[in-house]
Amino acid sequence: ERERESQGGEKSQDFLFLFGTTSRCFSPTSRDKLEALQLHKNTVITFLGDHGYSLGQRNQWCKCNNFELTTRVPLFVVPPQGDPGYARNHTDTSLVESLDLYPTIAELAGVALPAHQNLGGESLVPLLKASRHIPAQLGSRTKNHALSQWARPLSCIHHHNCPDGGGDPSQADALMGYSLRVADYRYTAWFQFDYAKNEPVYTNISARELYTHVGDDGGELSGETFEMENLAEKEPTVVQQLHEQLVSVIKAALVPPVNN
């Protein structure tokens, strides 16, 4: 918290909220200050957490992989309190991405998105207006997946016994793993990667993984109990369908290099 003098000589306060922990960020004191300044009626509050952390599950360590336990992050958005059109204290189980946060904040703030740019995200506002009594307006959202990406250098695995692959994409033999999460499955494909073109070699696939999430309620232990059996060889039809979707999503997400 700090004080400064305005141009008129009056003192005003800038409140610097610390985002080190959730409890500090959204403490009653912070909310009270927003309400005292009448800022809660036109302020958007968001929280986005870091990756999950593997502690030996599936021989993985840290957060350097494409499994659910690592790629899933906490996210919540609090629309302005002065607008009664939004649901409150509501949890939505729809699949969303971190990329969706930017267009969400822009829409809530009434700010136009940059034209002719591939942002990759879709606004979550239709979901924020949904609740148990107000059905989600899913018609305005076309995305039904979440995409993750992580590199796995072969040399790191074979020569250094690093179980998570190290994630250093600078090596020429690195494979690029793209993981597509949909309602009932997670499908991951490991491609050879063309660093000159900054895209995978779609015809050169080194490995595939398919995990069911049927019955996954997203609870506390979902990352511990699912994705234990690779079903890629048992479900070739599902693999083919999800692979086609994955390639389409990757191509749509690729952003050309910026020329200065």
- From start to end of the chain, where are the E strands? 2-5, 11-14, 45-48, 54-55, 61-62, 75-78, 146-153, 174-181, 185-194, 199-212
Q: Which residues of the chain, if any, have pLDDT below 50?
A: 1-22, 132, 138-139, 161, 163-167, 169, 257-260
Cα distances (angstroms) measured from residue 102 to each of 34, 71, 145: 22, 19, 17
Q: Quote the CA–CA distance of 232 and 210 in Å, as a whole number.
A: 5
Which structure tokens are listed for 193? 């990667």
The radius of gyration of the chain from alpha carbons, rounded to an integer in Å, stands at 22
Return the pLDDT at 7: 44
Return the pLDDT at 104: 92
Residue corresponding to tokens 């189980």: 93
Q: Quote the CA–CA distance of 10 and 121 in Å, as a whole number.
A: 42
Return the pLDDT at 40: 78
Q: Quote the CA–CA distance of 104 and 124 in Å, as a whole number.
A: 5
Chain centroid offset of residue 5 CA: 40
C-beta of residue 17 within 8 angstroms of C-beta of residue 33: no
Q: Quote the CA–CA distance of 47 and 38 in Å, as a whole number.
A: 21
Return the pLDDT at 24: 53
Return the pLDDT at 42: 83
Four-point Cα dihedral 217, 188, 153, 196, nearest 10: -130
Q: C-alpha angle 251/63/236, rounded to 5°?
A: 50
Q: Give the residues across from 216 on adjacent strands.
A: none
Return the pLDDT at 133: 52
Return the pLDDT at 91: 78
